[in-house]
Amino acid sequence: MARRKKGQAISGWINLDKPYDLTSTHAVSRVRRLFDAQKAGHAGTLDPLATGVLPIALGEATKTVPFLVDADKSYRFTIAWGRTTATYDREGATLAESDVRPTLAQVQAVLPRFIGEIDQVPPAYSAIKVDGERAYDLARAGETVELAARKVRIFDARVVDAEDEDHVTLDVDCGKGTYVRALVRDIAEALGACGHVSALRRTRVGAFTEQSAVALAFLEDLGYEARQSEALLPVETALDDIPVLAVTDEDAFRLKQGRSIVLVPRQVEAVKARLKPGSRTVSAMAGGSMVALCEMRAGRLEPSRVFNL
């Protein structure tokens, strides 16, 4: 006899505005407890010192996490000049100091070097694995960590504020795998200065934006009033760039059994027109609910992830 899972079979996304000084893992645990959900996960770790958008998946939404991890993101961060730290944020030990204070014009002039596809070496204090160990664990143990450069894509980088000569605030839109702390390190080096991240906020992950993000305190208040569902977003929220195809109840039944369905020519053409280059993934819906994520092949939909909603 199968063991009954603890918690409620709740499915959907919470667009959490993660507070300062809380790890992403602890944030997920807090939200899971508030909803008494059976399963929970997040799409893209935020450092404890960072705030902002942390999409948290509950229940069947955890099956869509990989799609959101790959989504484009936006950040707002402040560079503090004068000190380079081991972690490239304000908590790290000081590695170097400098009196150089780049002007606003100098910062704006150097930013185009970092737009487009660039090579970026991740910071040693990161979650990347080296011989099975997290890089930050090795760095904290005093070991020298050398990470290879990776290709990342930065779509835009712009100055939004220059509070004083010691600080400048930027907005960046980027692809997956981009490290803001590494970007700040490289900008400072390009300007012959020392600098580190003094404030960091993620403002967007795919379709999840800071404007629609909710605070933990707000979720707790809803919990007291038994109104948590008001903050719950549909499972398909993470799939905003994947074409949706409405299927019949009969086809939905077949997909949920793991069997493929045949599309008529007009359906094939309609889906092809909306597919991203190089993608075959289609979201099948029936009666307003997610049925399955499918791969379109030779005029058929083959289910790859089935949803129990």
Calculate the average pLDDT of the chain. 90
pLDDT for position 108: 96
Tens-place pLDDT, residues 260-302:
999 888 888 888 888 888 888 999 999 888 999 999 888 889 9
What is the value of pTM for the model shown? 0.89
> Domain check: are 84 and 200 in the same one?
yes
Is a pLDDT exceeding 60 seen at residue 114? yes
End of a domain among 205, 223, 252?
A: 205
Residue 298 lies in a domain: yes
CATH of the domain at 231: 3.30.2350.10
End of a domain among 237, 258, 286?
A: 237
Is a pLDDT exceeding 50 seen at residue 1? no
> Domain check: are 61 and 144 in the same one?
no
> Domain check: are 110 and 142 in the same one?
yes
> Domain check: are 250 and 288 in the same one?
yes
The residue written with tokens 């299927």 in the block is 247
Buried b (16+ CB within 10 A) or exposed e, 54-87: bbbbbbbbbbbbebbbebebbbbbbbbbbbbbbb
> Domain check: are 47 and 91 in the same one?
no
Catalytic residue among 21, 36, 47, 164: 47
Residue 43 lies in a domain: yes
* Number of domains present in the structure of the chain: 3
**Residue 257: Cβ within 10 Å count:** 9
- In this prediction, residue 153 has a pLDDT band, given cuts at 50, 70 and 90, of very high
Residue 7 lies in a domain: no
> Domain check: are 77 and 62 in the same one?
no
Residue 5 lies in a domain: no
Residue 132 lies in a domain: yes
Mean pLDDT throughout 10-21?
A: 94
**Residue 265: Cβ within 10 Å count:** 8
> Domain check: are 249 and 161 in the same one?
no
pLDDT for position 123: 85
Residue 6 lies in a domain: no
**Residue 240: Cβ within 10 Å count:** 13
Closest C-alpha to 130, from 122, 138, 141: 138
Is a pLDDT exceeding 90 seen at residue 230? no
Is a pLDDT exceeding 60 seen at residue 169? yes
Is a pLDDT exceeding 50 seen at residue 188? yes
> Domain check: are 215 and 256 in the same one?
no
Active site residue 47: yes
> Domain check: are 285 and 163 in the same one?
no
The residue written with tokens 């499918």 in the block is 294
**Residue 98: Cβ within 10 Å count:** 14
- Residue 131: which residues within 8 A CB-CB, separation 6 or more? none
Q: Which domain holds residue 158?
A: 73-205
End of a domain among 217, 237, 257?
A: 237
Residue 2 lies in a domain: no
> Domain check: are 168 and 57 in the same one?
no
- DSSP line for 141-208: TT-------EEEEEEEEEEEEEEETTEEEEEEEE-TT--HHHHHHHHHHHTT--EEEEEEEEEEETTE
> Domain check: are 254 and 197 in the same one?
no
Of the two residues 296 and 156, the one the predictor is more confident about is 156
The residue written with tokens 């000049």 in the block is 81
Tens-place pLDDT, residues 20-79:
999 999 999 999 999 989 999 998 888 888 999 999 999 999 999 998 988 999 999 999
pLDDT for position 222: 81
Is a pLDDT exceeding 70 seen at residue 4? no
Of the two residues 133 and 214, the one the predictor is more confident about is 214
> Domain check: are 257 and 269 in the same one?
yes
CATH of the domain at 288: 2.30.130.10
